[in-house]
Amino acid sequence: MISATTPPDSDPTGRRRVHSMLKLYYGLNEEGKVVEQAESLDPCDINGPHFDPEVYLNKLRKECSLGELMDHESCTVKQIRSLDSDMQTLVYENYNKFISATDTIRKMKNDFKKMEDEMDCLSANMAAITEFSAHISGTLQDQHAQITKLSGVHTLLRKLQFLFELPARLNKCLELQAYAQAVSAHRRARCVLQQYSHMPSFRGIQDDCHVIMEQLAHQLRQKFRDGGSSAKDLSECVELLLQLDEPAEELCDKFLSHAQSRLEADLQGLEAELKDSPVTDTDILEFIDRGCNEFVSNLCLVIASYQELFINQMANGKLHVFVDTLAARYFSLVERRIQEEKGVGDNSLLVRALDRFHRRLQAISKLLPGSAVPSQGTEIVVRAARERIKQYLSALQTFYHDSLTDVRQALAAPRGATSKDATPSLTELLTSLSNFILNQLKSVLASVHLFTAKDITFSNKPYFKGEFCSQGVREGLVVSFIKLICQSSRQYCESAGDRGGSTPPALLLLLSRLCLDYETSTISYILTLTDEQFLVQHHTPVTPVTALCAEAREAAQKLLNHYVKVQGLIISQMLRKSVETRDWVNTIEPRNVRAVMKRVVEDTTSIDVQVGLLYEEGVRKAHSSDSSKRTFSVYSSSRQQIRYAPSYTPSAPMDTSLLSNIHKLFSERIDIFSPVEFNKVSVLTGIIKISLKTFLECVRLRTFGRYGLQQIQVDCHYLQMYLWRFVSDENLVHFLLDEIVGSAAHRCLDPSPMEQSVIEVICERG
Amino acid sequence: MGFRSLRVFQARALTAQTAETDAIRFLVGTQSLKFDNQIHIIDFDDENNMINKSVLLHDAGEMWHISGSPADKAVLTTCYSKTSESRVLTCAAVWRMPPEWESGSHESPDDSSNNPQTLELLCHLDNTTHGSVACVLWEPLGDGKRVISLAENHVLLWDLQESSTKATISSTATLEGKGQLKFTAGKWSPHHNSTQLATANDTAIRGWDLRSMSQIYCIENAHGQLVRDLDFNPNKQYYLASCGDDCKVKFWDVRHINEPVKCLEEHSHWVWSVRYNHSHDQLLLTGSSDSRVILSNMVSISSEPFGHLVDDDDLSDNEESQQEDKGKEPLQDSIIATYEEHEDSVYAVEWSAADPWLFASLSYDGRLVINRVPRALKYHILL
């Protein structure tokens, strides 16, 4: 009835609408979900579930006119009809479906029945199979046990056969010297034999084996003892013996003693080489090579095999002692060899040898970590380096003395020929000497520098980084050498001082200049060079450059002073002899300047040239415009008369003292043997001072006749003419010559001086 | 320390009056070729710090050396040069000072109007056969009867008889060798009963035994140059000091002559004179032609190398116990003082015979300087 009251909306989509309506009815929406809330609760909704026909009708009746009611009624009737037809269709469709379902069910029922039968059959078959299987296994049980037993017997028999064959096999092994095989075979059998030793047959085998093994062990020991075998064989031997339960300690001792004997043979070889051949035959590199290849590598081998063999059983103590004693002997040999290395020509060989020596010892430190051997080796290298520095120092010393001797000869040789040849070469001699020394020092530094080269293993040891550079090379070599130069220079002054010029004065001059050059530049240059080359880090206090320079300067000063003294004395001696040997009372009237004065001037000139080659001119006080022309008579006669004459008359001694005092007031005290400055003028001044003072003192010891005095006047004027140009202060020459003439006048029995003009004529004549 | 200088003639002969032990007295002989030479007797009045001078005439010639008798303070010897027939010869003679010289004149130096008295000649040490005399030496501590003269290369030992009016040669020795050998200086040793003599010629020092008149030692090349003077240590019999043209003063132990015991090099020119103090042999006086006089304290080689057992001026503030320790420390040799009052070469220095702390030095220009040992040092040595 419901559908009847629902007016159909449209016809073409009737079926679809019907489905949806059904769905709606059954509470299914499009998505298949039950939708209830969507339905209105309006009782007037003809399609709603809460439709109340009474309310609906009342409503219609109230609201609609008759026409409308009629229309509505016809619409509703139409809808009811369509709904009826729809329902009819649906019912029909459903009926068909029921029928086909029923057919299917019936067919299934038949199939299941058939399957049940087949299953029954299968279970019956399985039961039969189980029965059969049980039956079969029951029958085979006996045979299986038998087979197992038989196979057990078989293995046992094989073992037994091995045992029985063991003695024979061992024998054969023994014959073939296949000791390792024998030992392993015996080891395999040993336990069994031990276990069954109560049985006579096994006992027999065991005894046999024992005997054989004894023999084997004996042979092994024999072999071991022979020592002829190589280290490898030896270690194999030991391994086998160890397996044979030889006492490890004893073996260890034996092993070591054998190793020792072999290593000692190596050492003896080395020693023989050391003894037999004088150094020249084999160089040190070969020696060290041999040592490394034979002794050190064998030692390493011994250490390695010892550790392999015994390390579990034994402490390392024994090995350490062993290694240490042998290494000590080796080291002593090496040291002896190094000590024989005295030639300083090629340092690279020694350094390479030391490097190899040191490098090979590192292997020991790897093998035997706690060993003192490598550090001892380093010590040896350090000692060798120290020794080397000393040798270089003495070589430098010898070189220095040799080159001085050369210079001496060079100075002496040309003097015999011509005196002119000697002087020009002085500068060359100085430069060549200086260069020689510097080059030698440089080459020594280069040689020593090899010790610190990067590729040398020991160069990174702390000694070679620090002490070697600063204390060794800088202090021990360079500074010592410079000091030595200064010292030997000073010795020239002292030794020659007493016995008189055993050293040629030119050498003194040259050395003085050398020392001065050292002070000004060379020392700092050398030290800077050293510091740069060796990257010296001054951990320890080192000699400062200034101290060395001061020493060099002192030496230079001393040498120059001594030079002045020696040259002064040579001239003094001439003057003195000339004054002492002449009879001044009975001499004839002067016609010439005495030859000795010319000689003095000549010598002074040549000294001037000589000094001028090496030293700068120096400062002199301003000359008066006519220095050489200074009238000698002014003081030699007239002023001397004033000065000395009153002393002849006892009535006026006060005048003497007054005049003399005034004179002294204006002249400073002259130190005769006083230090000179480093320039030509000062040197010449010193020499002239010494000479003239001697002249003065000698004159005062003599008595002169009239012509004696005049001769002195002539001589002094001559000296005055030529000497003023050499000195820093010409007044000094004037003063001393003044004194000489004055003293001569005083010592004169008949003081009547010569006319100045005559003196000048004589002097200019030559 | 006072010093007095007085100007005389050029002079190089100086001696203390050896036999005089009360007054501080020096004798200076002048050197002048033209005028009459004089002997100046210099008296130093220590209390008043005054110098008195007396002059005696020595008309024989200029004096090169003078020496006072150790026994008779009025007797002295001089070496003087005499020119005869254009020949200069140095002779020696023994003189006696006139007894009244002291009353004679205490005149000022320039007061020469009243004639000075003349020395009385006792005898000549006749040397015509032996050549010029370098010096005359009295027998030290002797009775004034024996002198030695060194003439050229001869050593002549004289006996003075009849109150020194007669001199006879008792023995001689001659130095033989190449060239012209000539003694430059000599010293009679006060040790060994005065039987030894040391002489210098050229660079060598020789020792002589006066009993046999033979050489007992010879230090060849004692100095690099000429040896100018020598002196015996008064307290140590084998020690002597020498000086020379190499500007050095050397100390010798004559038993070990290869090396000097010590060497000083303080002067800057020839050293002409060296004198040990007569009682304190660490004090040494040297005079040089660099016009300086140097007083040295050679403690280390003296007879008292550790000083007196009670010593040191700063002892007063120290504890008694420290004294002995101090005494054992060898004292340092040192230069005590350098005297630069002279302006010409100093040829002679001499200690006073009467006062061991006083000495005189004489330079060529005639200046005589009397100095004292510094007071501090004196007390240091004495106390």
Contacts of A691 in chain B (CB under 8 A): none
Q: Please choose, from the candidates A729, A721, A421, the residue with its C-alpha nearest in 3D space to the C-alpha of residue A601.
A: A721
**Chain B contact for A673, CB < 8 A?**
yes
In B, what residues contact A, Cβ < 8 A? 7-10, 32-35, 81, 83, 86-88, 109-110, 112, 221, 223-225, 246-247, 268-270, 289-291, 340, 343, 345, 364-366
Using CB atoms, pick whichever of B81, B112, B223 lies closest to residue A651. B112
Angle at A334 between CA A332 and CA A337, to 5 degrees: 110
Which comes out higher in pLDDT, residue B324 or B31? B31
> What interhelical angle do A756-765 and A706-723 show, nearest 10?
60
**Chain B contact for A693, CB < 8 A?**
yes
Flag whether pLDDT at A652 surpasses 50: no
Averaged over A702-715, what is the pLDDT? 89
Amino acid identity of residue B204, one-letter, is A
**Chain B contact for A650, CB < 8 A?**
yes
Q: Do residues B201 and B153 make contact, with C-beta atoms less than 8 angstroms apart?
A: yes
Best A566, A667, A673, A738 residue to mutate vs chain B (most B CBs within 10 Å): A673
Flag whether pLDDT at A588 surpasses 70: yes
Of the candidate ranges A13-17, A115-119, A731-735, B40-44, the one whose mean pLDDT is the lowest: A13-17
What pLDDT is recorded for position B140? Answer: 87
pLDDT confidence tier of residue A645, bands split at 50, 70 and 90: very low
What is the count of structural domains for chain A? Answer: 5
Distance from the Cα of B16 to chain A's closest Cα (Å) equals 23
- For chains A and B, CB pairs below 8 A equal 75
For residue A113, tell me if it sits in a domain.
yes
Flag whether pLDDT at B28 surpasses 60: yes
| Helix ranges restricted to H, A581-635 | 595-614, 633
What pLDDT is recorded for position B243? Answer: 93
Average pLDDT for chain B: 82
Averaged over A194-218, what is the pLDDT? 76
Contacts of B86 in chain A (CB under 8 A): 585-586, 705
Of the candidate ranges A173-182, A330-339, B68-77, the one whose mean pLDDT is the lowest: A173-182
Give the DSSP H/E element, type plus range, for residue B30: strand B24-30
For residue A12, tell me if it sits in a domain.
no
Which comes out higher in pLDDT, residue B170 or A342? B170
* Burial state string for A98-131 with b = 16 or more CB within 10 A and e = fewer than 16: eeeeeeeeeeeeeeeeeeeeeeeeeeeeeeeeee
CB spacing of B224 vs A499 below 8 angstroms: yes
Contacts of A660 in chain B (CB under 8 A): 343, 365
Distance from the Cα of A652 to chain B's closest Cα (Å) equals 7
Contacts of B246 in chain A (CB under 8 A): 497-498
Average pLDDT for chain A: 76
Averaged over A101-111, what is the pLDDT? 87
**Nearest residue of chain A to residue B268 (CA atoms):** A673
What pLDDT is recorded for position A482? Answer: 86
Cα gap B139→B316, rounded to integer Å = 43
What pLDDT is recorded for position A649? Answer: 34
Q: Please choose, from the candidates A493, B307, B262, the residue with its C-alpha nearest in 3D space to the C-alpha of residue B274.
A: B262
Half-sphere exposure of A121 (CA within 13 A, CB side): 5
Distance from the Cα of B100 to chain A's closest Cα (Å) equals 23
Distance from the Cα of B112 to chain A's closest Cα (Å) equals 7
**Chain B contact for A747, CB < 8 A?**
yes
What pLDDT is recorded for position A517? Answer: 85
Last residue of a domain, one of A176, A207, A225: A176
Distance from the Cα of B284 to chain A's closest Cα (Å) equals 22
For residue A4, tell me if it sits in a domain.
no
What pLDDT is recorded for position A39? Answer: 53
For residue A18, tell me if it sits in a domain.
no
Q: Please choose, from the candidates A230, A246, A375, the residue with its C-alpha nearest in 3D space to the C-alpha of residue A302.
A: A230
CB spacing of B112 vs A650 below 8 angstroms: yes
What pLDDT is recorded for position B360? Answer: 92
DSSP string over A121-185:
HHHHHHHHHHHHHHHHHHHHHHHHHHHHHHHHHHHHHHHHHHHHHHHHHHHHHHHHT-HHHHHHH
Q: Which tens digits make up the pLDDT trace of B143-157?
A: 888 899 998 888 999
Using CB atoms, pick whichever of B110, B268, B343 lies closest to residue A660. B343
Q: Which tens digits make up the pLDDT trace of A747-765?
A: 888 888 888 888 888 888 7
Task: Compute how many other C-beta atoms are within 10 angstroms of the C-beta atom of residue B8.
Answer: 25
* % of chain A exceeding 70 in pLDDT: 80
- For A734, the token pair is 């004037």
Cα gap A93→B216, rounded to integer Å = 179
Q: Say whether both A605 and A749 belong to one domain.
A: yes
Q: Please choose, from the candidates A241, A235, A360, the residue with its C-alpha nearest in 3D space to the C-alpha of residue A304.
A: A235
Q: Which tens digits make up the pLDDT trace of A472-527?
A: 778 888 888 888 888 888 887 775 444 444 677 888 888 888 888 888 888 888 88
Distance from the Cα of A399 to chain B's closest Cα (Å) equals 31
Q: Which tens digits make up the pLDDT trace of B331-345?
A: 678 888 999 888 888
CB spacing of A672 vs B269 below 8 angstroms: yes
Q: Say whether both A512 and A598 belong to one domain.
A: no
Question: Which long-range CB contacts under 8 A does A635-642 form with residues at least 24 apart?
Answer: A635/A734, A635/A738, A635/A741, A635/A742, A636/A713, A636/A716, A636/A717, A636/A738, A636/A741, A636/A742, A636/A745, A636/A753, A636/A756, A637/A753, A637/A756, A640/A738, A640/A741, A640/A742, A640/A745, A640/A753
Using CB atoms, pick whichever of B7, B34, B83 lies closest to residue A656. B7
Flag whether pLDDT at B109 surpasses 90: no
Q: Say whether both A217 and A266 belong to one domain.
A: no
Q: Say whether both A259 and A349 belong to one domain.
A: yes
Q: Say whether both A754 and A721 belong to one domain.
A: yes
Q: Which of residues 477-536 of A touch B (CB under 8 A)?
A: 497-500
Q: Say whether both A597 and A479 belong to one domain.
A: no
The dihedral formed by the CA atoms of B81, B84, B85 and B86, expressed in degrees to the nearest 10: 20
Contacts of B11 in chain A (CB under 8 A): none
pTM over 0.80: no
Using CB atoms, pick whichever of B88, B269, B366 lies closest to residue A585. B88
Averaged over B87-95, what is the pLDDT? 87
For residue A659, tell me if it sits in a domain.
no
Cα gap A164→A442, rounded to integer Å = 84
Averaged over A552-562, what is the pLDDT? 87
Q: Say whether both A229 and A291 belong to one domain.
A: no
Q: Please choose, from the candidates A575, A535, A606, A564, the residue with its C-alpha nearest in 3D space to the C-alpha of residue A697.
A: A575
pLDDT confidence tier of residue A413, bands split at 50, 70 and 90: low
pLDDT confidence tier of residue A280, bands split at 50, 70 and 90: low
Using CB atoms, pick whichever of B9, B112, B223 lies closest to residue A647. B9
Q: Say whether both A723 and A680 belong to one domain.
A: yes
Contacts of A748 in chain B (CB under 8 A): 33
Which residues are bridge partners to B37 per DSSP? B58
Contacts of A671 in chain B (CB under 8 A): 268, 290
pLDDT confidence tier of residue B111, bands split at 50, 70 and 90: very low
**Nearest residue of chain B to residue A705 (CA atoms):** B86
pLDDT confidence tier of residue B66, bands split at 50, 70 and 90: very high
Q: Which domains, and CATH codes, for chain B?
A: 4-382 (2.130.10.10)
Q: Say whether both A595 and A734 belong to one domain.
A: yes
Query: What 3-state DSSP class applies to B367?
Result: strand
What pLDDT is recorded for position A323? Answer: 79
Q: Say whether both A442 and A558 belong to one domain.
A: yes
Which comes out higher in pLDDT, residue A596 or A501? A596
Q: Please choose, from the candidates A351, A620, A697, the residue with its C-alpha nearest in 3D space to the C-alpha of residue B346.
A: A697
**Nearest residue of chain A to residue B63 (CA atoms):** A701
What pLDDT is recorded for position A664? Answer: 53
Distance from the Cα of A563 to chain B's closest Cα (Å) equals 14
For residue A656, tell me if it sits in a domain.
no
Query: What 3-state DSSP class applies to A529?
Result: helix
What pLDDT is recorded for position A14? Answer: 53
Contacts of B35 in chain A (CB under 8 A): 648-650
What pLDDT is recorded for position A231? Answer: 62
For residue A380, tell me if it sits in a domain.
no
For residue A690, tell me if it sits in a domain.
yes
Which comes out higher in pLDDT, residue B30 or A367? B30
Q: Which of residues 569-598 of A touch B (CB under 8 A)?
A: 569, 585-586
pLDDT confidence tier of residue A192, bands split at 50, 70 and 90: confident
**Chain B contact for A415, CB < 8 A?**
no
Using CB atoms, pick whichever of B87, B110, B223 lies closest to residue A654. B110
pLDDT confidence tier of residue A653, bands split at 50, 70 and 90: very low
Which residues fall within 8 angstroms of residue A547, CB to CB, at 6 or more apart?
Answer: none
Q: Give, rounded to a whole angstrom, the gap between the first and last alpha carbons of chain A.
A: 184
Q: Say whether both A435 and A529 belong to one domain.
A: yes
What pLDDT is recorded for position A226? Answer: 67
Flag whether pLDDT at A536 surpasses 70: no
Q: Please choose, from the candidates B67, B219, B31, the residue with its C-alpha nearest in 3D space to the C-alpha of residue B158.
A: B67
Using CB atoms, pick whichever of B110, B268, B291 lies closest to residue A674. B268
What pLDDT is recorded for position B275? Answer: 94
Residue A700 lies in domain: 582-616+671-765
* Burial state string for A70-88 with b = 16 or more CB within 10 A and e = fewer than 16: eeeeeebeebbebbeebee
Q: Say whether both A330 and A435 belong to one domain.
A: no
Name the CA radius of gyration of chain A, rounded: 67
Flag whether pLDDT at A69 surpasses 60: yes
